[in-house]
């Protein structure tokens, strides 16, 4: 005996069908008595469990009734069985037969044994046991009942489930089963998002699959979630596991064996639909008469549903008649009422004469030989047989494919509806969903309307199986599911269509390497669906299939050469037919079954597919000319798939464009893929294009960390050099030189290549390498410890001018790289002035990137070594900024009085002039102190600064006009390094104004740079962007955004020891919390305000500065 307490409470015996317990009270009583059968359950506790919301007045007698139901459920039909429940000493004790098992207890044992097997290294057994436990524990426990005891069991079950998922994931990882290991781990994380061991399983799964980047991402997601939710770091074992995993070797997964699909598919899922059908049959058994119409797309399982009930009725001894309607479109049915004739003939032939109802001999002759009878006689005979049989006993009639029936079938159906009273008749018919059968007989709709009008008809619309049902189906027919797609992917491919699911499972389990690209049954299914629609709709679908998983109507219509009206008509057809569905929000469309899309695509010839891809790419260029970046990957795909043989330059260049945008979007591996794709389409005779393609691929591989990049770059450099593409060869040489820093195999080749490029005089027809690139090549030579040729001065000058163009937050990474390269060249040729300029730019870029400590230390070292006044003035600017930031205002003023400006230099221009920013920083000090003096500064951007001075002095009108004009773009903002500083001052002014519209305009300016510090690099400080965003959010009333940004600002100010800024942040945060008014906000606000006022007082500042 097996007792199932999860899902539907059931007792299963080998010699009897499963028995279910329907009463909710009896279910919970049986569950508690079963789980506590060792010591029994007290009467009071059992009553509290049955009635958790309060006992009824007559609870004692009611409880005895519940226990009696449980006793009857356990005994079943065995009257002679000993009493299974004993009442003794105020307790109920359940006694089960020897060998009886309970699913929850088996699952608990399986979890323990799985853990033990895993510890012994028996990974296959561990995964099998854990998976079995998961299958049980993921079913709900008493979903219709609540209460303290039920909740405690659910909590214990949930804990066991997560443990089972973790063990299954770890065992699958050890067996190199990447799909299952990640599937189990993801489910464990979903069920217990704050459980670190589940996240460690996910990290293990990623590393076992060779995806260290995903493991890194998983760890950081966990760390961020713990910080946000609990304010803690990951546990030491999580951090240790993370470090160990990232250092572990990647093992190639073992080759998987092909699973075997069982020959017949079991009935899985459709619980609600079958329950409705069974409930209707129960009513028929009680003397009612009904018709049930089951509708759905082809292959969805309509026939399987109605025949499942037929099988159960037949096993129970009931009367079942079955008939199938034939498609009579374009012809005439061979027999009127063909489906009814088939059903009646089969019943008469299979039933003994004495068991038939009393019928006239003419009726039996007519049914036996319908072709020899008139239509009227046949209708009369069939009506007589069905009504008389159903008058004696319940009858279940299946009419399959009713939408293909002839008119006489519908005439007979109407007769049965009129004469059904006093009979026990259930007619179960199947039909395609509305619009799916354009060839259906015209009388179908009106006949269904007639019987529905009389209240005889009940409808069941079948949709696709969900993921849980698909998972159950896979387990039933493919016990060894290794190598099969995840159930979620199967649902995506088939929309849960039973026929397509079975076809896919058979195809995936077929080990034959010569099998077709898609299941033959799926191809036939797609062909049948196409044959049922018109030519424009077929054209639309073929173009849509080439478009991909989703498509846009206007693009596909243009590719299919359909006029606008034709396209809409075709779209209506395929949507109504259930082949295509609209995607919400995006207004795009997708195939309901992706396998149908792939089948339609595969059925087209190679030439037609190339033509369709080319047409789609042309349509995108024509209709989306202003949005090509968004379509770059799509364009690269279509140009490559539509490329002409032996090379296609459009495919090459679109591959490059898409790869460049992929790199900018942080997808380096996708960029490598796109460059490889582009290389395949380079014409064999175009050596210059091949050199460029190789170089681009090598640089993409370098960015993605691929080992093969060095050989690709060397080949690209050689090809470019021999084809006169010196600048292209230089790019390849730069990349190769970076590679050999860590992998010296081609170190000498890289050095020789660079020396050749910087020392060669190009032929007249060949463009020379620009000075900036020469400087970058010289930097590589210096790093390779090779002597630099004379003439580096021009390169340094060009590099410094290029760095001026890269100032500001938009080009931080490129600026830092070029500044580092310039510094290497300057130090190699002992040019101290250029070294200071380069170190300055690198420190500026580092500050903008939020990581300026090391770069500033390098700048100090360079300045000390150079002894240049230029560098000393820069460091003095920095010192004043630090003093003001930390609230040391007197020290800042004293240092400012010692500032001497350094004259500008036309070759190495640093803007603003070194030494000129100390006075401007004192404006920020004045704002902090509330007494700014507009004589402290002179600036090219005086408008923003003077408006802040005026606001501090109590003016409002003109400063408001100035701040609003600059914030909204009416007046241009400065570019380059000045931009963050000026925007910071504007944010201070906007807060002083308190105008929500102006504050919102400043928020839009700052939001893309939320992690930026507002200052001229390391030389000034006017707060952080998070500080300004938080205070501006307070003005517009966005309290949650204010809390997020101000909390981040507090962290940054703490690292800077910026006490005044910390106090102002605390005051703004307190204001936001008081206004929000959540539980605990007011008390925290009071604490923040007290700390802030104490800090301000210690700095001789006033709280009004907040």
Tell whether the model's pLDDT for residue 360 goes beyond 90. no
When pLDDT is averaged across residues 349-375 and rounded to a whole number, the result is 83
What does the pLDDT read at residue 903?
A: 55
841 confidence band (pLDDT: 50, 70, 90) = very high
d(C-alpha 66, C-alpha 903), whole Å:
98
pLDDT band at 253 (very low <50, low <70, confident <90, very high): very low
CA angle 556, 559, 564 (to 5 degrees): 65
Strand 319-324 to 290-296 pairing: unpaired
Give per-residue burial for 550-589: e unless 16+ CB within 10 Å, then b.
Answer: ebbbebbbbbbebeeebbeebbebbbebbbbeeeeeeeeb
Per-residue pLDDT at 1072 exceeds 70: yes
- Residue 1102, pLDDT > 50, answer yes
Chain mean pLDDT for the chain: 87
Q: What single-letter DSSP state applies at residue 809?
A: G
Model confidence at 330, in pLDDT bands (50, 70, 90)? very low
DSSP track, 563-608: -HHHHHHHHHHHHHTTSEEEETTTTEEEESSHHHHHHHHHHS-HHH
What pLDDT is stored for residue 714 in this prediction?
Answer: 94
Q: Flag whether the pTM goes above 0.75.
A: no
Helix, strand, coil distribution of the chain in percent, nearest 5: 65, 5, 30
pLDDT at 942 exceeding the cut of 50? yes
Beta strands in 31-116 (DSSP E): 41-42, 85-88, 91-94, 101-102
Among 220-224, 528-532, 883-887, which stretch is predicted with the lowest mean pLDDT? 220-224
DSSP secondary-structure letter at 432?
E
Reported as a single tens digit per residue, the pLDDT across 456-492 is: 899 999 998 988 888 888 887 776 767 788 889 999 8
Distance in angstroms (rounded) separating the CA atoms of residues 909 and 894: 27
pLDDT of residue 730: 93
pLDDT confidence of 688, banded at 50, 70, 90?
Answer: very high
How far are the Cα atoms of 75, 235, 804, 808, 1019 from residue 905, in angstroms, in the given order? 102, 55, 13, 20, 19
- CB under 8 A, 24+ apart: contacts of 347-352: 347/319, 347/321, 347/385, 347/389, 348/385
CA distances from 273 to 8, 295, 474 (A): 16, 11, 20
Q: Residue 716 has what pLDDT?
A: 94
Pairing mode, if any, of strands 16-20 and 550-551?
Answer: unpaired
| pLDDT band at residue 332 under the 50/70/90 scheme | very low
- The torsion angle over the Cα atoms of residues 654, 659, 662 and 663, rounded to 10 degrees, is -150
Task: Tell me 768's DSSP state.
Answer: P
By the 8 A CB rule, do 152 and 160 touch? Answer: no
**Cα(582)–Cα(575) distance, integer angstroms:** 8
Rounded-to-integer distance, Cα 669 and Cα 169, Å: 27
Residue 551's DSSP bridge partners are: 589
Residue 508 exposure: Cα atoms within 13 Å on the Cβ side? 23
Quick one: pLDDT band at residue 85, thresholds 50, 70, 90?
Answer: confident
Find all residues with CB under 8 Å of 56, minimum gap 6, and list them: 62
Query: Quick one: pLDDT band at residue 212, thresholds 50, 70, 90?
Result: low
How far apart are the C-alpha atoms of 211 and 205, rounded to whole Å?
Answer: 9
**How long is the chain?**
1106
Least confident piece of the model among 70-74, 375-379, 659-663, 1035-1039: 70-74
Q: Would you say residue 32 has pLDDT above 60?
A: yes
Please give the sequence-ordered ranges of beta strands (E in DSSP) within 7-64, or none if there are none: 10-13, 16-20, 41-42
427 by DSSP, 3-state: which? strand
Question: Within 10 Å of residue 814's Cβ, how many Cβ atoms?
Answer: 13
pLDDT at 255: 34
pLDDT attached to residue 254 = 36
Q: What are phi and psi of 831, to 5 degrees?
A: -100, 95
Residue, of 1053 and 248, whose pLDDT is higher: 1053
Q: Grade residue 165 by pLDDT with cuts at 50, 70 and 90.
A: very high
Of 215-224, 241-250, 273-282, 348-357, the least confident: 241-250
| pLDDT (tens digit per residue) in 1005-1051 | 999 999 899 999 999 999 999 999 999 999 999 999 999 999 999 99
CA distance 276 to 290: 12
386-426 pLDDT, tens digit per residue, is: 999 999 999 999 999 998 888 899 999 999 998 989 999 99
CA separation for the pair 950, 733 (Å, rounded): 56
């Amino acid at each position: 005996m097996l007792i199932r307490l999860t899902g539907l409470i059931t007792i299963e015996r080998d010699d009897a069908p499963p028995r279910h317990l329907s009463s909710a009270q009896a279910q919970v009583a049986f569950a508690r008595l079963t789980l506590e059968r060792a010591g029994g359950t007290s009467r009071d506790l059992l009553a509290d469990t049955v009635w958790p919301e309060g006992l009824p007045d007559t609870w004692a007698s009611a409880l005895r009734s519940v226990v009696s139901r449980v006793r009857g459920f356990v005994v079943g039909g065995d009257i002679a069985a000993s009493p299974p429940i004993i009442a003794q000493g105020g307790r109920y004790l359940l006694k089960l037969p020897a060998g009886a098992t309970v699913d929850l207890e088996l699952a608990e044992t399986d979890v323990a044994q799985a853990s033990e097997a895993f510890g012994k290294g028996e990974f296959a057994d561990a995964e099998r046991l854990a998976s079995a436990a998961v299958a049980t524990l993921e079913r709900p426990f008493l979903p219709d009942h609540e209460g303290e005891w039920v909740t405690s069991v659910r909590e214990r079950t949930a804990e066991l489930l997560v443990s089972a998922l973790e063990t299954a994931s770890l065992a699958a990882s050890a067996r190199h089963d990447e799909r299952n290991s990640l599937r189990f781990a993801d489910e464990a994380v979903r069920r217990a998002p704050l459980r670190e061991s589940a996240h460690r399983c996910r990290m293990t799964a990623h590393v076992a699959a060779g995806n260290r980047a995903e493991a890194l991402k998983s760890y950081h997601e966990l760390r961020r979630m713990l910080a946000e939710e609990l304010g803690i770091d990951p546990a030491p074992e999580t951090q240790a596991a993370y470090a160990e995993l990232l250092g572990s070797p990647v093992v190639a997964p073992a080759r998987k064996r092909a699973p075997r699909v069982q020959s017949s598919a079991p009935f899985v899922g459709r619980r609600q639909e079958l329950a409705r059908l069974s409930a209707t049959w129960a009513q028929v058994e009680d003397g009612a008469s009904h018709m049930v119409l089951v509708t759905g797309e082809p292959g969805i399982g309509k026939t399987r549903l109605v025949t499942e009930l037929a099988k159960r009725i037949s096993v129970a001894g009931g009367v079942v008649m079955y008939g199938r309607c034939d498609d009579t479109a374009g012809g005439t049915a061979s027999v009127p009422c063909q489906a009814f004739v088939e059903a009646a003939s089969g019943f008469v032939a299979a039933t003994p004469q004495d068991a038939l109802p009393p019928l006239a001999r003419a009726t039996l002759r007519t049914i036996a030989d319908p072709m020899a009878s008139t239509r009227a006689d046949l209708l009369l005979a069939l009506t007589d047989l069905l009504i008389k049989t159903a008058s004696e006993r319940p009858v279940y009639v299946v009419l399959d494919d009713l939408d293909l029936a002839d008119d006489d079938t519908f005439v007979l159906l109407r007769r049965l509806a009129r004469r059904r009273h006093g009979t026990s008749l259930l007619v179960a018919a199947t039909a395609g969903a509305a619009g799916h059968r354009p060839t259906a007989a015209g009388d179908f709709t009106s006949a269904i309307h007639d019987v529905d009008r009389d209240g005889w008809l009940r409808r069941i619309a079948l949709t696709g199986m969900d993921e849980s049902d698909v998972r159950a189906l896979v387990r039933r027919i493919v016990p060894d599911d290794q190598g099969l797609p995840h159930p979620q992917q199967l649902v995506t491919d088939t929309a849960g269509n039973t026929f397509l699911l079975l076809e896919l499972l058979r195809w995936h389990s077929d080990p034959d390497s010569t099998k077709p690209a898609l299941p033959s049954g799926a191809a036939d299914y797609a062909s049948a669906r196409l044959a049922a629609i018109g030519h424009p709709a077929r054209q639309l679908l073929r173009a849509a299939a080439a478009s991909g998983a989703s498509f846009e109507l206007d693009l596909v219509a243009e590719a299919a050469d359909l006029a606008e009206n034709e396209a809409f008509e075709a779209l209506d057809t395929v949507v109504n037919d259930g082949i295509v569905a609209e995607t919400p929000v995006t207004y795009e469309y997708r195939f309901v079954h992706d396998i149908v899309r792939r089948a339609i695509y595969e059925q087209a010839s190679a030439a037609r597919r190339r033509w369709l891809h080319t047409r789609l790419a042309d349509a995108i260029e024509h209709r989306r000319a202003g949005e090509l970046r968004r379509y770059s990957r799509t364009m690269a795909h279509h140009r490559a798939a539509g490329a002409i043989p032996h090379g296609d330059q459009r495919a090459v260049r679109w591959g490059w464009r898409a790869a460049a945008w992929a790199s900018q979007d942080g997808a380096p591996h996708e960029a490598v893929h796109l460059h490889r794709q582009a290389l395949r389409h380079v014409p064999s005779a175009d050596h210059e294009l091949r050199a460029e393609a190789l170089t681009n691929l090598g640089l993409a591989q370098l960015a993605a960390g691929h080992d093969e990049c060095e050989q690709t770059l060397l080949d690209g450099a050689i090809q470019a050099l021999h084809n006169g593409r010196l600048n292209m060869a230089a790019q390849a040489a730069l990349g190769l030189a970076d590679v050999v820093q860590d992998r010296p195999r081609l170190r000498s080749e890289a050095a020789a290549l660079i020396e050749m490029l910087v020392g060669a005089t190009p032929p007249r027809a060949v463009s020379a390498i620009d000075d900036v690139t020469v400087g970058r090549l010289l930097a590589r030579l210096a790093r390779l410890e090779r002597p630099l040729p004379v003439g580096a001065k021009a390169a340094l000058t060009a590099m410094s001018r290029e760095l001026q163009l890269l100032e500001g937050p938009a080009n931080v990474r490129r600026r830092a790289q070029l500044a580092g390269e310039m510094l290497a060249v300057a130090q190699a040729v002992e040019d101290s002035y250029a070294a200071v300029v380069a170190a300055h730019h690198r420190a500026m870029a580092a500050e903008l990137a939020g990581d300026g400590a090391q770069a500033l230390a390098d700048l100090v070292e360079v300045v000390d070594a150079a002894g240049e006044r230029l560098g000393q003035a820069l460091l003095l600017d920095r010192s004043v900024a630090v003093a003001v930031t930390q609230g040391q205002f007197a020290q800042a003023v004293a240092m400012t009085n010692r500032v001497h400006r350094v004259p500008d230099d036309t070759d190495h221009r640093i803007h603003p002039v070194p030494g000129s920013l100390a006075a401007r920083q004192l404006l920020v000090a004045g704002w902090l102190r509330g007494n700014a003096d507009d004589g402290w500064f002179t600036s090219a951007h005086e408008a923003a600064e003077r408006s802040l001075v005026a606001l501090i002095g109590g003016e409002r009108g003109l400063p408001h006009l100035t701040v609003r004009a600059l914030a909204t773009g009416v007046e241009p903002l400065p570019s380059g390094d000045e931009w963050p500083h000026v925007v910071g001052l504007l944010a201070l002014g906007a807060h002083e104004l308190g105008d929500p519209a102006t504050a919102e305009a400043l928020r839009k300016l700052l939001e893309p740079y939320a992690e930026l510090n507002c200052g001229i690099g390391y030389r000034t400080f006017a707060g952080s962007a998070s500080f300004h965003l938080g205070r501006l959010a307070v003005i517009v009333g966005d309290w949650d955004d204010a809390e997020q940004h101000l909390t981040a600002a507090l962290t940054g100010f703490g690292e800077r020891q910026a006490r005044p800024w910390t106090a102002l942040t605390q005051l703004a945060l307190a204001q936001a919390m008081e206004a929000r008014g959540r539980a605990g906000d007011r008390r925290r606000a009071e604490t923040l305000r007290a700390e802030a006022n104490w800090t301000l007082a210690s700095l001789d500042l006033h709280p009004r500065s907040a």
